[in-house]
Amino acid sequence: DGIIVTVPHKFACRELCATVSERAAFLGGVNTMRRNADGTWHGDMFDGLGYVEAMRAKGCEPKGQRVLLVGAGGAGSAIAHALVVAGVSELAIHDADVARRDSLVQRLAGLGLGQVRAGSSDPSGFNIAINATPIGMKEGDPHPIDSSKFTPAQFVGCVITAPAVPPMIQAARDAGCHTMTGADMFARVRDLMVTFLLEAAA
């Protein structure tokens, strides 16, 4: 009756869906699937929406802000889309895969909702800095964003759930930043998934 999809199957499962939400169609991936009345699958993607909701719950309103996002994969793409839809004034995206980064920048810029460009790991001048990569899960990983340049006025987020407080987030806290972890995001994504799946039973 329902499927929750994780890495690396989000894009492949999109192809199994007869119908998808507008955001899932744009992103080309789903993280939750439910049955349509005719037995086919309907899919949606909640990573980005959940992330933005979690930011707001932490007191960070993205509208009008300058944002640095590191990571243009499944979660990163979804978060980027949600940030643009939420009305950020500027979104800079950094990813080691330049082709993937440039493709995402081009597609998001085509929405005409705000300035979207390629960025770097330097958070200087940004109001918000977000890591949407797995970097930080393994001991000894470098910080995906240059934490030596964090300032107390910045909001710093991460998608990683283990460790509970990734080293980069700890560095941001040490610098006086307000922060958000992957667990904060997952709590919001989970609630959106439950609502979506229960709608099929209604």
Q: Using one digit for the tens of pLDDT, what is the confidence trace for 19-63?
A: 999 999 999 999 999 999 999 999 999 999 999 999 999 999 999
AA letter at 130: I
On whether the CB atoms of residues 124 and 149 are closer than 8 A, the answer is yes
How many angstroms separate the CA atoms of 98 and 115, rounded? Answer: 18
On whether the CB atoms of residues 91 and 112 are closer than 8 A, the answer is no
- Measured between its terminal Cα atoms, the distance across the chain in Å is 13
How many angstroms separate the CA atoms of 36 and 170, rounded? Answer: 44
Residue 190 has pLDDT above 90, yes or no: yes
On whether the CB atoms of residues 159 and 132 are closer than 8 A, the answer is yes
Active-site pick, 10, 58, 138, 149? 10
| Number of Cβ atoms within 10 Å of the Cβ of 139 | 7
Structural tokens at position 146:
């240059």
Mean pLDDT within 92-119: 96
Whole-number pLDDT of residue 102: 97
Structural tokens at position 163:
């460790």
Residue 200 pLDDT class (50, 70, 90 cuts) = confident
Residue 106 has pLDDT above 70, yes or no: yes
Q: How many CA atoms lie within 13 A of 97 on its CB side?
A: 13
Catalytic: 138?
Answer: no
Helices (H) and strands (E) in the chain, counts: 7, 10
Report pLDDT digits (tens) over 121-178. 999 999 999 999 999 999 999 999 999 999 999 999 999 999 999 999 999 999 999 9
On whether the CB atoms of residues 56 and 27 are closer than 8 A, the answer is no
Residues in the chain: 202
Whole-number pLDDT of residue 201: 62
> Percent of the chain, pLDDT > 70?
99
pTM of this structure: 0.93
Residues with Cβ within 8 Å of 70's Cβ and at least 6 positions away in sequence, in order, are 76, 93, 94, 95, 119, 121, 129, 130, 131, 132, 133, 144, 145
How many angstroms separate the CA atoms of 192 and 95, rounded? Answer: 27
Residue 202 has pLDDT above 60, yes or no: no
Residue 67 has pLDDT above 80, yes or no: yes
Looking at the chain, list the stretches that DSSP marks H as alpha helix, in order from N- to C-terminal side. 10-14, 22-27, 47-57, 74-85, 98-109, 167-174, 182-201
